[in-house]
Amino acid sequence: MSLLSVRELRTTFRREGGDPLTAVDGVSFDVQRGQALAVVGESGSGKSVTMRSVLGILPRTARITGGQALYGGRDLLAIGDKELRRIRGRDIAMVFQSAMEAMNPTLTLERQLTEHLIWHGLCTKAEARKRAIRALGDVGIPDPEKRIRTYPFQLSGGMRQRAMIAMAMVTEPALLIADEPTTAVDVTVQRQILDLLADLKARGTGIVMITHDLGVARYFCDDAVVMYAGRVVERAPMGTLLDDPRHPYSVGLLGSGVEVGGRDLPLRPIPGSPPDLSRRPEGCPFHPRCPQAELPRCSTEQEPLTIGPSRDAACWKVTADV
């Protein structure tokens, strides 16, 4: 059984004087224990909103209008706020691009790192303090015994980022959702963070990593989903996707046959820009930018994400091929 199973998730945003905007449109994916899933796609494709929907941390204007997110036999989208908050602190952690979003500026690192451990009765206060100091040391914060008494604003940006990661890891969550966790840090810290995440993974934590860095994804992730305009357009094992992307969007994004052994490989810019979601194109939303589009079929029909023997792709031309 998967650690997390998301099915047909739909999230909309309320708009002044207009129809709601559908930011996540029927997204499904699975996360396995001890494995990492990469979520890739251009800016605005719905990666963050998808994960925030699962965790129940959406802005007030957003509404989940359909789907399920099964975790431990329960649907995270259907349980109450209180229960979800409990699961979020104890079993599921999130690492954001910016530490400011995750940390409370008015509390010391000690309070923030020990809060969940104590609140959930996972250990005594003294043990929680020890674990918090160890977690700060693990992410490379020097002098953690002393630093644990400081407030986030007293740390440099890089140190704050590390402290946030320590905060996410201190409960040894079963599932960690990381939204561009290494974008804001230098290469040395990036390496340390990935090593720590790899440790967690080896101990059975399932990881979802939203990333623009294909080098990181190849090195770290086992499976991948590619998102476009709020939908999953391709799903495959990570290596398979990078070596042989099939959906025309993935091909454009990842570059067919491109050498991806190196690190810091950026996603490729694709001519044109992603659609304004309030005016989503009919049919396949990628068709106006797709070099392989055949009209009228691509502008009128949206192929569902079809299960093929080696991959799932939401393009009739691909499924006709397999």
Ligand X SMILES: Nc1ncnc2c1ncn2[C@@H]1O[C@H](COP(=O)(O)OP(=O)(O)OP(=O)(O)O)[C@@H](O)[C@H]1O
Q: Which residues bind ligand X (CB under 6 A)?
A: 13, 21, 23, 41, 43-49, 59, 61, 277
What's the count of helices (H) and strands (E) in the chain, helices before strands?
A: 13, 12
- Nearest distance from residue 136's CB to ligand X, in Å? 27
- Judged by phi (left if over 0) then psi (alpha if -120 to 50, else beta), residue 174 lies in alpha
- Nearest distance from residue 230's CB to ligand X, in Å? 7
Distance CA 298, CA 286 (A): 9
Q: Which is nearer to ligand X, 13 or 151 (CB)?
A: 13
Q: Which is nearer to ligand X, 59 or 309 (CB)?
A: 59
CA distances from 127 to 91, 162, 163, 176 (A): 19, 21, 18, 22
| Bridge partners for 202 per DSSP | none
- Nearest distance from residue 144's CB to ligand X, in Å? 31
Residue 141 tokens, joined: 């914060």
- Nearest distance from residue 74's CB to ligand X, in Å? 24
Q: Which is nearer to ligand X, 45 or 302 (CB)?
A: 45
- Nearest distance from residue 43's CB to ligand X, in Å? 3
Q: Which is nearer to ligand X, 49 or 270 (CB)?
A: 49
Q: Which is nearer to ligand X, 48 or 171 (CB)?
A: 48
- Nearest distance from residue 271's CB to ligand X, in Å? 19
- Judged by phi (left if over 0) then psi (alpha if -120 to 50, else beta), residue 8 lies in left
Residues whose CB falls within 8 Å of the CB of residue 137, separated by 6 or more in sequence, listed in order: 144
Q: Are 9 and 64 in contact (CB under 8 A)?
A: yes
Q: Which is nearer to ligand X, 140 or 274 (CB)?
A: 274
- Nearest distance from residue 23's CB to ligand X, in Å? 3
- Nearest distance from residue 211's CB to ligand X, in Å? 9
Q: Which is nearer to ligand X, 146 or 268 (CB)?
A: 268
Beginning with the edge strand found earlier in the chain, give each strand of the sheet holding 223-228 in spatial order: 92-95, 175-179, 206-210, 36-40, 223-228, 231-237, 312-313, 306-307
| Tokens 């992410």 belong to residue | 139
- Nearest distance from residue 273's CB to ligand X, in Å? 11
Distance CA 58, CA 292 (A): 36
Q: Which is nearer to ligand X, 58 or 260 (CB)?
A: 58
Q: How many CA atoms lie within 13 A of 239 on its CB side?
A: 3
CA distances from 184 to 157, 164, 194, 318 (A): 8, 12, 13, 36
- Judged by phi (left if over 0) then psi (alpha if -120 to 50, else beta), residue 91 lies in alpha
Q: Which is nearer to ligand X, 62 or 174 (CB)?
A: 62
